[in-house]
Amino acid sequence: MNLLLIPLLPFATFLLLGIFGRKYLSPVAGIIGTSSLLVSALLSLQAAYSYFIQHTGEVYTSIVAWKMTWLPFSQDVSIDIGFMLDPISVMMLVVVTVVSLMVHIYSLGYMKGEERFATYYAFLSLFTFSMLGLVVSVNIFQIYMFWELVGVSSFLLIGFYFNKPSAVAASKKAFIVTRFADLGFLIGILILSYHAHTLDFTTLIQRLTASDSTYLTSAIGSSFLGLSALTWGLVLVFMGGAGKSAMFPLHIWLPDAMEGPTPVSALIHAATMVVAGVFLVARLFPIYAISCPGALELVMWTGAISAMFAAVIACTQTDIKRVLAYSTMSQIGYMMFALGVAGYGGENGLGFTASMFHLFTHAFFKALLFLGAGAVIHMIHSNEMKDMGGLRKSMPVTHITFLIACLAIAGIPPFAGFFSKEEILSAAWNANKAIYYIALITAGITAFYMFRLYYNIFWSKEAKHDSHIHDEHSHGEGTLTMKIPLLILSIGAIAAGFIPFGNFVSSDGHHLHLPFEIANAIMPIGVAIAGILMATALYKNENDKSDKIVAALSGIYKGAYHKFYIDEIYLFVTKKILFNLIGRPAAWIDKNIVDGAMNGIASLVMWKANLIKSIQSGKVQDYALYFYIGVFGLAILAIYLVK
């Protein structure tokens, strides 16, 4: 039952703070939220310890710790609520609770004095709860429900500053875009469960992977528009995952989601929400890998294109949170194509392990980057690079931890990102050379834009803000509660790479020895160092070299600065095409024909009613007269008809 407490504690906190928070618990809301999450995190670590370390035997099996039939449709098909332990869900439990705990601690300082402090913590708890429920799902419908809960809680958090119109727009955008993608997910679920006659994950995977199963033949046999039902199902499920994970072209919500409080961005980008899509594909990975390599190829290309695309955009953005947002999209792209190049079982499963490994390490350094950026924003009161510069002396802790995170994401050994990225690259090398080169170039660009960010914040212009900061805003680098998470996460960003990840997580549960060859590592390290050196040359000191390059590449730069006009394309498609061709005619029909019919009936009734109304004069003698008339009428009837 300890296990159940892991998701239930944040849920209880959400209820407590959501109902009583604002009135009674405002001063202690942060403490309540943080301590309940601390217990959750400790329980998850304990669960991970007993699952991975105290484990005996060769294979990690999935254990259903608790299960309840919630909504039975028939004997086979039922929606269950349960708690499943397998390598990826246990790993995710640890990642989600630890990163969320860091965000909780950090928010104690960051959100201090906020009017809706308790509400904020309630939403954070809800977010954590939904993500925890998602990762332990036993049933594809359970995962869908928690998936939507994640969507709702991200909507609430992104729109936390609801009096800011841009935040409201961003939260709506995030919700609508991911909802649109979830439509695909839902249809995918229906297709898969229709053919497999089950919603349960274990049974579903079993039925759709065994080569002699009748369910699989039925799913492959029926086709629509030239693709089999199985492919359609998996592609549509991936569409849901791509929406949540901000894969091209459904990524447009992610940069705008920066309108939320910065710790929330850290939570969304590192541990919850965006990795949900990767998790979903990983959860159904056997089906993708064994039965439908075509769908997996789509995953691969989507991931690779997103990784490259986002990295290019990230080089041009000036809002530091947006740079980080695009870097998240790029790294998630890495995880996706790593899944895409993987096969099922044994050595082929390297990509799967690498993807999960990268998810794990990325959670640490991305949370660290966002929390560090939060500290900078907290001090400067601006998101723009041009307002920063030379902060390395006034914010030593933030500076060092941010540097560690940048090195980790750039893939410099011995930091965590190096190891996972290395595995992804060797998986790509084994499977598909084109993907390998895309990934390699992206790695170089990543190093470049991360260090562009780093130099712009901490070096570049020499501390021109110092005096003005000390005068007006004396809170300096931030409270202790803001520094502790940075330090803890930087330990993770340094050390997480040394975990022998292949021993724990692999596509089929067997131990996988991760190959590590110096020869393979030279290229990525070289590219990363080249990127860093380029950034150093351009941005370490204030100079006009970067402006010259921008001028030389003006076309590409402008395109990337405007995010390749994807938002504008969406607006064009929705506003010009959908609204004009479908929306307006539909509105016209609704207003004139549907409403018109209703209004017509209503006014007819009113007209009749007005005619009849005058009979009810309220005068007793009129009624008496009607009564007489009635009696006479009856009398005449009686005389002439009855007789």
List of residues contacting another protein (CB under 8 A): 613-614, 616-621, 624-625, 628
Q: Identify whether the C-beta of residue 388 lies closer than 8 Å to the C-beta of residue 382.
A: yes
CB closer to another protein out of 480 and 609: 609
Write down the least CB distance from residue 638 to another protein, Å: 17
Write down the least CB distance from residue 631 to another protein, Å: 10
Q: Which of 213, 379, 372, 238 is nearest to 299 (CA)?
A: 238
CB closer to another protein out of 518 and 615: 615
CB closer to another protein out of 56 and 621: 621
Write down the least CB distance from residue 147 to another protein, Å: 57
Write down the least CB distance from residue 623 to another protein, Å: 9
- The radius of gyration of the chain from alpha carbons, rounded to an integer in Å, stands at 30
**What count of other Cβ atoms lies within 10 Å of the Cβ of residue 150?**
25
Write down the least CB distance from residue 617 to another protein, Å: 6
CB closer to another protein out of 75 and 610: 610
CA distance 630 to 29: 75
CA distance 194 to 177: 26
CA distance 325 to 310: 9
Residue 506: which residues within 8 A CB-CB, separation 6 or more?
A: 87, 349, 352, 353, 512
Write down the least CB distance from residue 624 to another protein, Å: 6
Write down the least CB distance from residue 626 to another protein, Å: 11
Write down the least CB distance from residue 634 to another protein, Å: 16
CB closer to another protein out of 176 and 624: 624
What is the crossing angle of helices 214-221 and 229-244, to 10°?
Answer: 80
Main-chain phi, psi angles of 616, to 5 degrees? -80, 75
CB closer to another protein out of 53 and 620: 620
Q: Which of 137, 46, 33 is nearest to 85 (CA)?
A: 137
In one-letter notation, the amino acid at residue 278 is V
Q: Which helix (H) or strand (E) holds 71?
A: strand 63-72
**What count of other Cβ atoms lies within 10 Å of the Cβ of residue 622?**
13
CB closer to another protein out of 480 and 611: 611
CB closer to another protein out of 467 and 621: 621
End-to-end Cα distance, the chain: 88
CA distance 441 to 450: 14
CB closer to another protein out of 549 and 625: 625
CB closer to another protein out of 49 and 623: 623
Main-chain phi, psi angles of 275, to 5 degrees? -80, -5
CB closer to another protein out of 597 and 625: 625
**Which 8-state DSSP code applies to residue 292?**
-
Residue 302: which residues within 8 A CB-CB, separation 6 or more?
A: 238, 242, 247, 248, 333, 336, 337, 340
CA distance 577 to 172: 21
CB closer to another protein out of 589 and 605: 605
Write down the least CB distance from residue 620 to another protein, Å: 5
Write down the least CB distance from residue 598 to another protein, Å: 25
Write down the least CB distance from residue 602 to another protein, Å: 19
- Report the DSSP pairing between strands 78-85 and 227-228: unpaired
SS3 assignment, position 139: strand
CB closer to another protein out of 543 and 617: 617
Sign for the pseudo-dihedral over CA of 254, 259, 260, 265: positive
Q: Which of 521, 131, 84 is nearest to 363 (CA)?
A: 131
Write down the least CB distance from residue 609 to another protein, Å: 10
**DSSP codes, 334-351:** HHHHHHHH--SSGGGGHH
What is the crossing angle of helices 350-380 and 274-283, to 10°?
Answer: 170
CA distance 173 to 158: 10
**DSSP codes, 528-572:** HHHHHHHHHHHHSS--SHHHHHHHHTHHHHHHHHTGGGHHHHHHI
Residue 459: which residues within 8 A CB-CB, separation 6 or more?
A: 389, 390, 392, 539, 540, 541
Write down the least CB distance from residue 583 to another protein, Å: 43
Write down the least CB distance from residue 627 to another protein, Å: 10
Write down the least CB distance from residue 622 to another protein, Å: 9
470-478: long-range pairs with CB below 8 Å, 24+: 473/379, 473/381, 475/378, 475/379, 476/379, 476/394, 476/395, 477/375, 477/379, 477/394, 477/395, 477/396, 477/397, 477/398, 478/109, 478/110, 478/375, 478/378, 478/379, 478/398
CB closer to another protein out of 23 and 619: 619
CB closer to another protein out of 437 and 627: 627
CA distance 375 to 482: 7
Write down the least CB distance from residue 604 to another protein, Å: 19
CB closer to another protein out of 381 and 613: 613
